[in-house]
C-alpha cells in the first residue's frame, strides 16, 4: 500500500485555486490553525525570557551549520563507538536503497514507522513497496493519510483536512485490508477512533522486527538521537523491534549535549502549544539489554548541501519542523498544505523546497510566490528564520533562471511591478501598508537588494499580484489583501 504522491502536482496557483473551492478543507484548516496558534501564544507568554531562548536556539543551530563537516564527522565517530552503523546517502534513491537492504538482510517484509519528514521527503514508503516491503505508518494522522490513500497536508497534523466522519469511513473500509479490522460498532468519537488505531497497530508493533524513524536532533558529542512525539507510537518503534533504522538529514546535528536545552524548551511550546510533548525518547547507539540491539543511522544530503551553499537561504536548515509558521500564515490557512505540492508546506516549504531542489521545475519555482510577505512566520519561528527575506531572494533566483526566455514568466512581470512599487514614495507607503508587515519586513528587504537594485514587498497591485490571483478569488482586485482580510475576517465571512 502506498500513500499518494506529489509528483506531477500542478504549480501552486492552480493547486491553490482548487483548494480554495473546497469549503470543508478551508473550514478545517481555519479551525486547526487558530486553535494551535492560540495554544502556542498562551504557553509562549508564560516564558518571560522567550526572546533570549529564541536567540540561544538560533545560535545552537547556526553554530552546528557553520561547521557542519566537523560535527558530522564527530557524530559518526560517536555513533560508531556506541555500536551503531552509520550510512551516508547522497540522495533519496541511495537512502531508500540502504533501508531496503538492511530490512532484507533480516528477512523482513514489513517495517513499522514513526512519523518522519525525512522519510516522507525521500519517498521511502513507495520505494520499500517496490522492494516488496510494507511500511506501516504508526502515527494516528499518518495512518489516516495512508489508509485513505491520501497526502499529508500539515507537518504536525497531517490529516487536518479530514473530519471525524471521514476518518471513521476510512477505518471501516480499509483497516481490514491491511490487518486487524475496525470493530463493528466503530463510532466517530475521537476516543473510539483512537482506540481502534491502538488495537490495529498494537498487533504490528508486537510482531515487527524492523522499525524506521527519523530524528529531531542528533548530538555530535554523544551520538544521541532524539525523537519528540505524543502518542507513544514512537516509543513502540524505538523500543520493541530488534533492528532500528533512523533516517536523519545532515542538518539535524547539534554539537553538544547541553545544546539540547534551548531546543527542548522551544520546540514543544512552538509546535503543539504544550509546555512539553508527552514523550521524548533519547538513545545513543545500542543500549545493551534494552531496545533494538542493531541500530543503523542513515545520514542524508538530498539537496541539503545545495541549500547550505546559499548564503541567504542557508538559515532555512535551522528549521526544527515545529510548524508554527504554518499556523500563522494567512496563505496556508486558506489553501492548505496540498497546494504546495511537497511534504514541506507553508512558509518553510515555500523556501525549503526551492533551496533543496533548485527552481528549474515550474512547481517548485512557483513556491517563492506563495506568500504575502506579511512577516508573521518570522515572528513565531523559534530559530528566527527570516523567511520573508529568503522568499525575496528565491524570487530573484527564479527570475534570473528565466532571464533568457523569449516570453517573460508571469513571475518576472511581477518582479518588475515590484520594482515599480518601490520607485515612488507614495506607492511605497501604499505597499508598506498593504503588506501588513510593517517596517520590520521593509528593513529586512532593505538588506536584501535584488539584482539590478530592485526590492520586493508584499501584496502588490496589478501584475504584482501574479500568483495572488488564486488567493484573491473572492476579492475585487482593487482591494488590498490586508483590507480584504479585515473585512472578511480572514475569508470566513
Partner 1 sequence: MTSARDEILAAVRAALDGVEPAGPLPPPPTVRPVDDLVGLFVERVEDYRAVVTRCAADEVAATVAAALAGGSAVVPSGLGIEVPGSVVDPSTGSGHRDGLSATDLDGIDAVVTAARVGIAETGTIVLDHAEDQGRRAISLVPDLHVCVVRADQVVADVPDAVALLDPARALTWISGPSATSDIELDRVEGVHGPRTLHVVLVE
How many residues make contact with partner 1 (CB under 8 A)? 95
**67 part of the interface to partner 1, by CB under 8 A:** yes
**73 part of the interface to partner 1, by CB under 8 A:** yes
Rounded CA gap, 324 and 288, in Å? Answer: 38
Q: Please say whether the dihedral angle defined by the alpha carbons of residues 279, 284, 290 and 293, taken in this order, is positive or negative.
A: positive
**348 part of the interface to ligand SF4, by CB under 6 A:** yes
Cβ 324 to ligand SF4, closest distance in Å?
4
**17 part of the interface to partner 1, by CB under 8 A:** no
**319 part of the interface to ligand SF4, by CB under 6 A:** yes
Residue 309, binding choice from ligand SF4, partner 1, none, Cβ under 5 to 8 Å by partner class: partner 1
Segment 111 to 140, residues that bind partner 1, using CB under 8 A: 138-140
Count Cβ atoms within 10 A of the Cβ of residue 311 and give its class: 0-12 exposed, 13-18 middle, 19 or more buried: exposed
- 237, 114 Cβ separation under 8 angstroms: yes
Binds partner 1 (CB under 8 A): choice among 14, 22, 131, 261: 261
- Quote the cell numbers at residue 459: 501584496
Rounded CA gap, 31 and 164, in Å? Answer: 14
Question: HEC profile for 319-343?
Answer: CCCCCHHHHHCHHHHHHCCHHHCCC
Please count the other Cβ atoms lying within 10 Å of the Cβ belonging to residue 123: 21
Segment 369 to 388, residues that bind ligand SF4, using CB under 6 A: 380-383, 385
- Quote the cell numbers at residue 314: 542557508
Residue 224 phi/psi, 5-degree rounding, is -90, 130
Smallest CA-to-CA distance from 354 within 300, 316, 328, 299 is with: 316
Binds ligand SF4 (CB under 6 A): choice among 25, 143, 160, 320: 320
**490 part of the interface to partner 1, by CB under 8 A:** no
Q: What are residue 136's DSSP bridge partners?
A: 112
Smallest CA-to-CA distance from 335 within 18, 39, 68, 83 is with: 18
- 374, 431 Cβ separation under 8 angstroms: no
Cβ 185 to ligand SF4, closest distance in Å?
39
Nearer to ligand SF4, 86 or 381 (CB): 381
Segment 221 to 240, residues that bind partner 1, using CB under 8 A: 222, 224, 230-233, 235-236, 238-240
Segment 129 to 188, residues that bind ligand SF4, using CB under 6 A: none
- Quote the cell numbers at residue 268: 514543544
Binds partner 1 (CB under 8 A): choice among 55, 117, 134, 413: 55
- 118, 112 Cβ separation under 8 angstroms: no
Residue 324, binding choice from partner 1, ligand SF4, none, Cβ under 5 to 8 Å by partner class: ligand SF4
Nearer to ligand SF4, 128 or 329 (CB): 329
* Continuous segment of H or E residues that includes residue 352: helix 346-357
Residue 386, binding choice from partner 1, ligand SF4, none, Cβ under 5 to 8 Å by partner class: none
Binds partner 1 (CB under 8 A): choice among 104, 106, 198, 433: 198
- 418, 467 Cβ separation under 8 angstroms: no
**22 part of the interface to partner 1, by CB under 8 A:** no
Residue 67, binding choice from ligand SF4, partner 1, none, Cβ under 5 to 8 Å by partner class: partner 1
Only segment of 165-173, 298-306, 316-324, 463-471 that touches ligand SF4 (CB under 6 A): 316-324
Residue 272, binding choice from partner 1, ligand SF4, none, Cβ under 5 to 8 Å by partner class: partner 1
Give the CA distances from residue 131 to residues 177, 241, 299, in Å, rounded to whole numbers and listed in that order.
Answer: 20, 20, 21
**36 part of the interface to partner 1, by CB under 8 A:** yes
How do 279-284 and 253-254 pair as beta strands?
unpaired
Residue 323, binding choice from partner 1, ligand SF4, none, Cβ under 5 to 8 Å by partner class: ligand SF4
Residue 94, binding choice from partner 1, ligand SF4, none, Cβ under 5 to 8 Å by partner class: partner 1
Binds partner 1 (CB under 8 A): choice among 4, 10, 179, 278: 278
**197 part of the interface to partner 1, by CB under 8 A:** yes
- 459, 369 Cβ separation under 8 angstroms: no
Binding site for ligand SF4 (CB under 6 A): 319-325, 348, 380-383, 385
Amino acid at each position: 500500500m502506498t500513500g499518494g504522491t506529489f509528483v506531477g502536482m500542478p504549480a501552486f496557483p492552480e493547486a491553490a485555486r482548487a483548494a480554495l473551492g473546497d469549503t470543508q478543507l478551508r473550514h478545517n484548516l481555519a479551525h486547526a490553525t487558530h486553535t494551535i496558534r492560540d495554544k502556542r501564544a498562551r504557553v509562549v507568554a508564560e516564558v518571560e525570557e522567550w526572546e533570549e531562548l529564541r536567540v540561544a536556539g538560533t545560535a545552537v543551530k547556526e553554530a552546528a551549520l557553520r561547521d557542519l563537516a566537523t560535527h558530522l564527522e564527530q557524530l559518526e565517530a560517536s555513533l560508531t563507538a556506541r555500536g551503531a552503523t552509520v550510512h551516508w546517502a547522497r540522495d533519496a534513491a541511495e537512502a531508500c536503497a540502504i533501508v531496503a537492504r538492511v530490512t532484507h538482510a533480516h528477512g523482513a517484509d514489513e517495517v513499522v514507522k514513526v512519523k518522519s519528514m525525512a522519510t516522507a521527503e525521500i519517498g521511502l514508503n513507495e520505494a520499500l513497496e517496490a522492494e516488496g516491503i510494507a511500511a506501516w505508518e504508526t502515527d494516528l494522522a499518518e495512518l489516516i493519510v495512508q489508509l485513505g490513500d491520501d497526502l499529508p497536508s500539515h507537518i504536525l497534523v497531517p490529516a487536518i483536512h479530514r473530519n471525524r466522519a471521514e476518518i471513521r469511513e476510512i477505518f471501516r473500509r480499509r483497516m481490514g485490508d491491511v490487518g486487524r479490522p475496525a470493530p463493528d460498532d466503530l463510532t466517530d468519537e475521537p476516543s473510539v477512533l483512537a482506540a481502534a488505531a491502538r488495537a490495529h497497530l498494537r498487533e504490528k508493533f508486537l510482531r515487527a522486527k524492523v522499525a524506521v524513524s527519523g530524528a529531531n536532533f542528533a548530538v555530535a558529542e554523544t551520538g544521541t538521537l532524539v525523537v519528540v512525539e505524543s502518542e507513544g507510537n514512537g516509543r513502540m518503534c524505538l523500543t520493541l523491534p530488534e533492528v532500528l533504522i533512523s533516517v536523519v538529514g545532515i542538518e539535524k546535528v547539534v554539537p553538544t549535549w547541553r545544546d539540547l536545552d534551548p531546543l527542548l524548551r522551544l520546540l514543544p511550546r512552538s509546535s503543539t502549544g504544550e509546555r512539553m510533548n508527552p514523550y521524548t525518547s533519547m538513545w545513543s547507539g545500542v543500549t545493551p539489554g534494552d531496545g533494538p540491539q542493531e541500530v543503523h543511522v542513515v545520514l542524508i544530503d538530498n539537496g541539503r548541501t545545495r541549500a547550505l551553499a546559499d548564503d541567504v537561504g542557508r538559515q532555512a536548515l535551522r528549521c526544527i519542523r515545529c510548524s508554527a509558521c504554518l499556523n500563522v500564515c494567512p496563505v496556508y490557512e486558506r489553501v492548505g498544505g496540498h497546494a504546495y505540492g511537497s511534504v514541506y508546506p507553508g512558509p518553510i516549504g515555500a523556501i525549503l523546497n526551492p533551496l533543496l531542489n533548485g527552481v528549474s521545475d515550474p512547481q517548485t519555482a512557483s513556491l517563492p510566490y506563495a506568500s504575502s510577505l506579511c512577516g508573521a512566520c518570522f515572528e513565531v519561528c523559534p530559530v528566527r528564520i527570516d523567511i520573508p527575506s529568503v522568499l525575496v531572494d528565491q524570487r530573484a533566483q527564479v527570475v534570473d533562471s528565466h532571464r533568457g526566455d523569449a516570453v517573460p514568466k508571469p513571475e518576472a512581470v511581477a518582479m518588475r511591478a515590484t520594482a515599480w512599487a518601490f520607485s515612488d514614495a507614495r506607492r511605497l507607503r501604499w505597499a508598506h501598508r498593504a503588506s501588513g508587515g510593517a517596517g520590520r519586513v521593509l528593513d529586512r528587504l532593505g538588506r536584501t537588494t535584488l539584482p539590478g537594485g530592485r526590492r520586493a514587498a508584499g501584496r502588490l497591485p496589478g501584475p504584482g499580484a501574479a500568483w495572488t490571483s488564486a488567493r484573491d478569488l473572492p476579492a475585487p482586485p482593487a482591494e488590498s489583501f490586508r483590507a480584504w482580510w479585515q473585512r472578511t475576517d480572514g475569508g470566513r465571512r
